[in-house]
Structure 1
């Protein structure tokens, strides 16, 4: 519904989306950035992105809520990383020139390894739904159809598996 209206340039849909999801986007951004100003900027950027690129949202891949949540999370993390680099710049000015691998690539590789190990440690049915949903990019409805499950059962298994993965990562000191 929203995707079609966005693509058609319906200006009222942006107001509706903002009314329905601004608090979610702002809340996620605030939790990650810990700055009201940064959270407001992230919120504005997320809704600006949706308006400027209406075809980026694919209803077959998930809900508008999850799409906006992912956008908010990514943008907020970018803001935090940029601020962290900016903060470290004066410290590094006094250090000798040392070639270091890019922080993002190293961090991504480390986290990916931890996540893959956490997924591998899941019980079979939970691992199966996570692999379908996240590695094969299926929606929970597609996961349910692929496995012959009720949609609610597929959602529940995905949520349970994600909770176990988060707990495993937290035990290893990795937090979002």
Structure 2
């Protein structure tokens, strides 16, 4: 998983980008390009297309840093949303993917966006339980929290993920159905 960002870092990065500091773009790219690329690749299933989406996203950030609103979420989640939206649009515009694949890709992009955007404690609990195949008791020990807290984090994380099924399941307004 890519390194997270703090609200203070996000605000400072926005200010640096608004001042056109090239070093800021490099730092942002180093920290979050893997997140952007992996989201695009999951949707497009094409390395070159994912590279192009990654370039598009960072070009957009460079040209329009004012569009990021620190009060509306993290810089990481904003970039993830840009990547997901652009990748799904590219897949749809290609005309080569059947609509069922576009829908599956949109759902996968929403799920990735949700995981990328959720608070680190929830993401860590899901990672422990799902990727590491740990029980909630083992997850509690791994995260140094009570078993009740581990169950709560897993439940909340899974509830957030359940919204990835689309607007009918509680997805973001304006998402691709």
TM bucket, shorter chain: 0.5 to 0.7
3-state SS, counterpart of residue 35 of structure 2: helix
**For 1:164-175, what aligned pairs fall within 5 Å after superposition?**
164-166=162-164
1:15-47 Cα offsets, whole Å, 9 max, x none, are 001000111111110000011110000000000
Task: Give me the CA root mean square deviation.
Answer: 3.7
- TM-score normalized by structure 2? 0.53
Partner of 2:159 in structure 1? 161
Q: CA deviation at 1:158?
A: 5.7
Which of 12, 36, 42 is matched with 1:25 structurally?
36
3-state SS, counterpart of residue 9 of structure 1: coil
- State how far apart, in whole Å, the 1-side matches of 2:32 and 2:59 are: 13
Query: What stretches of structure 1 move > 3 A for 4+ residues in a row?
Result: 155-160, 166-169
- State how far apart, in whole Å, the 1-side matches of 2:166 and 2:54 are: 30
- TM-score normalized by structure 1? 0.54
Residue 87 (structure 2) pairs with residue 76 (structure 1): yes
Q: CA deviation at 1:9?
A: 1.3
Higher relative contact order (CA 8 A, sep 6+): 2
**For 1:126-141, what aligned pairs fall within 5 Å after superposition?**
none
3-state SS, counterpart of residue 70 of structure 2: coil
- Larger gyration radius, structure 1 or structure 2: 1
Residue 162 to residue 46, structure 1, CA distance change in 2 (3 Å): same
**For 1:1-176, what aligned pairs fall within 5 Å after superposition?**
1-84=12-95, 87=96, 156=153, 159-166=157-164
Q: List gaps (5 residues or longer) in structure 2.
A: 1-11, 108-118, 120-148, 170-175
Residue 7 to residue 23, structure 1, CA distance change in 2 (3 Å): same
